[in-house]
Amino acid sequence: MLSKDKSNKPYSDKTSEQYEASFKEGDSTGIVMDIEKKTKRAIRAANDWTKAAKEDYNFALGKQWTQEEKDKLETEGRPALVYNKIEPLLDLVSGYQRENSVRIRVNPEGGEDRLFSEVADRLIKAIDKWTKLNYKLDHVFDDGETCGKGNLEMYITYDDDPIRGDLGFRLCSPYQILWDPDSTEYDKSDARHAVKVSKRTKEDLKDLYPKKAAEIDVLGADVTEYYGIGEDVLKEGDKDNYHLGREDDYKGDLLSMTIDEKEKYLLKEMFYVKMIDKHVLFWADENRFERFDTADEANQRANEIRKQAQDDFAVEMQGFQKLAMSGAPSVQQAPPAPPVYTEPTIKIIKRKVKEMWYAATAAGIVLSEPAKGPFEPYYHGYPYFTFVAKYKPNAEGEELKNRGIVRNLVDPQKDHNKSRSQYLHILNSSANSGWVGDTDALTPEGKEDLKRMGSTPGVNIWIKPGSRFEKIQPTSPSQGHLQIFEVSAQDIKEISGINADALAIQDKTTSGRAIALRIKQATTILSPIFRNYRFTKEMIGGAIFAMIPHIFDVPEIRKVVGQEFMTANKIDDGFLTAVLQQISDGKYDVVITEADNSATIRQETFDALMEMVKGGMPMPPDVLLEFSSIPNVKEVSEKIMAYQQQQAAAQAKPGA
């Protein structure tokens, strides 16, 4: 394969047809070529957005002049000032998000699901704590509000648990995840594929794919660098994650680099949906569905269910026979009816269902052959979760579909910087407006001194008697430039719609309800952003929930929920086993959502309840505690309730 060619032959001497032929060689599945084409198409579709997102991030962090603009201004002796009005607005929204951040939790849809959802919620809470999920989500939000997209990846690590593994989450660059360009749904449920791109050394690749170590060792030039991938070295937070652009963007020296100069390879990991024939076993008696790859596996499981039913019936019949042989029942009791065997109601249906598959390539070789994804059969979705601040699915082009807060503020910020820079230039020019006089008014030495010292205070100038020599009177500084500066600052506030004064309310004398109403007015314009963020968190919560049976077994669940909780709720290992089974079967009536609304809304409710108490309305302590700001309110409430029960039992004793 050409990918193993160690010659220093320039890339420009090869054609993309040659590379396409090299991909086909030794690639029986065609996965290398498939990933290359999908990656290239996704890059082209996202190219305009990527360029705009780069500018958004630069402006947010204060890089608001291009190098060409700065060079031109420096040549002309003009300043290039930056009055960054964007970053404080982003910090304000980011801070508001963090102050009101709540974890993902499981809520019951019906009262009968309360205990089930409580166990699942404690498990999700533990995963949140172990993986630092909430902290990483804060940075996903920052990326989204800044450039439009924030990406998080879910993975399984076997570092601590080599058998079952543990869930982990990592922050990805906004430019790393390349989605199917035809997808329009926010949750990517209609996406046929997603490719993650990252730069890796040979050692990295061998650690990730040890079975391919021999092939990785002999890799030559990364042929995909020429074949429409390339690298535009944008490093947003991670030196190993690169922004990708158009094939035409990469010319000149890049194409003639040797592998020693590049050092890293472009790893492309693709998750993609396949429609697979599955044999679905429906067990009507238990309302359970189980999926199998083959009819034989489904029939084997059906026979196991029938055998178990027969064994259970045999045990029940033995008990009946022992009872019958022990003697006649009393006069008051009717003779027990003999047990009746009921054949389990089982139906096997063949259906095409979605299944998530995975493959990986680098430098034109297959590192991971196409196979089921690592999260199957528990979770069938993508392990990538994208938060888009302003999502307009029907807009034309990725640039308009995915935007952050910064996008509309770039032009006002440019105006802001340029007007102030121009005003300062005028002031500087006024201080040294120049001199006019006869050509022989000064000696050559005097002219040189004037050039060097003419703008300094107290400069001494000697002229020839009778010659004309006077300072040019400067034009008064234009107030228009200063007005533009002030207007552009106001424009940034109005265009962003972020009311910093209302969001930063700190008034201890104002009621919670009044504060809530004022903040609500200030944050109305941000509601679509926070709604998208909540949706993203719910998607992540759903994925975690689906993976619980893979990550936990009964002893681990017992350790997480605690013996005190199990005793208080009268649950045993059998109940925990049923929880895992229900999640595996996809049969549960729970809602994955954020824990609570903002602290301000809770405070508003608490204040209203306290007013009712003051008015004489009896209020159970657990209701008040639910809306209080006390940490670990659930545990506190349980202890109070237990204490009240003990007191009631003590008073009920005779002689109390």
Q: What is the tens place of the pLDDT at every residue in 503-532?
A: 554 555 555 555 555 666 666 788 899 999
For the chain, count helices (H), then strands (E): 23, 15
Question: In this predicted model, what pLDDT tens digit does every residue of 614-642 receive, in sequence order?
Answer: 777 777 776 776 666 665 666 677 777 77
Q: What is the pLDDT of residue 257?
A: 36
Whether the predicted pLDDT of 97 surpasses 70: yes
Mean pLDDT of the chain: 77
Q: Are 391 and 184 in contact (CB under 8 A)?
A: no
Q: What is the pLDDT of residue 234?
A: 31
Residue 388 phi, psi (nearest 5): -115, 120
Q: Are 44 and 397 in contact (CB under 8 A)?
A: no
Q: Three-state DSSP class for 513?
A: helix
The residue count of the chain comes to: 656
Q: Are 269 and 31 in contact (CB under 8 A)?
A: no
For the sheet with 384-388, list strands across it. 166-172, 149-157, 384-388
Count other Cβ atoms within 10 Å, centred on residue 424. Answer: 15
Q: Are 378 and 546 in contact (CB under 8 A)?
A: yes
Question: In this predicted model, what pLDDT tens digit does every residue of 560-587 receive, in sequence order?
Answer: 998 888 888 888 888 899 888 888 876 6
Whole-angstrom distance, CA of residue 592 vs CA of residue 245: 37
pLDDT category at 226 given cuts 50, 70, 90 is very low
Whole-angstrom distance, CA of residue 581 vs CA of residue 154: 23
Q: What is the pLDDT of residue 630?
A: 61
Kind and range of the H or E run holding 523: helix 512-523
Whole-angstrom distance, CA of residue 377 vs CA of residue 364: 30
Q: What is the pLDDT of residue 172?
A: 94
Q: Are 529 and 589 in contact (CB under 8 A)?
A: no
What's the Rg (C-alpha) of the chain?
A: 35
Q: What is the pLDDT of residue 219?
A: 83
pLDDT category at 554 given cuts 50, 70, 90 is very high
Q: What is the pLDDT of residue 114?
A: 78
Torsion angle of the four alpha carbons 435, 441, 444, 446, in this order, in degrees rounded to the nearest 10: -60
Whether the predicted pLDDT of 111 surpasses 60: no
In order, the DSSP letters of 425-460 are: HHHHHHHT--EEE-TTSS-HHHHHHHHHHTTSTT--
For residues 268 and 512, which has the higher predicted lDDT (pLDDT)? Answer: 268
Whole-angstrom distance, CA of residue 402 vs CA of residue 420: 31
Whole-angstrom distance, CA of residue 599 vs CA of residue 519: 12
Q: What is the pLDDT of residue 427?
A: 62
Q: What is the mean pLDDT of residues 420-449?
A: 69
**Token digits of residue 155:** 């993975």
Q: What percent of the chain has pLDDT over 90?
A: 31
Whether the predicted pLDDT of 185 surpasses 50: yes
Whether the predicted pLDDT of 233 surpasses 60: no
Whole-angstrom distance, CA of residue 167 vs CA of residue 148: 27
For residues 160 and 530, which has the higher predicted lDDT (pLDDT)? Answer: 530
Question: In this predicted model, what pLDDT tens digit does every residue of 367-389 receive, in sequence order?
Answer: 999 999 999 989 999 999 999 99
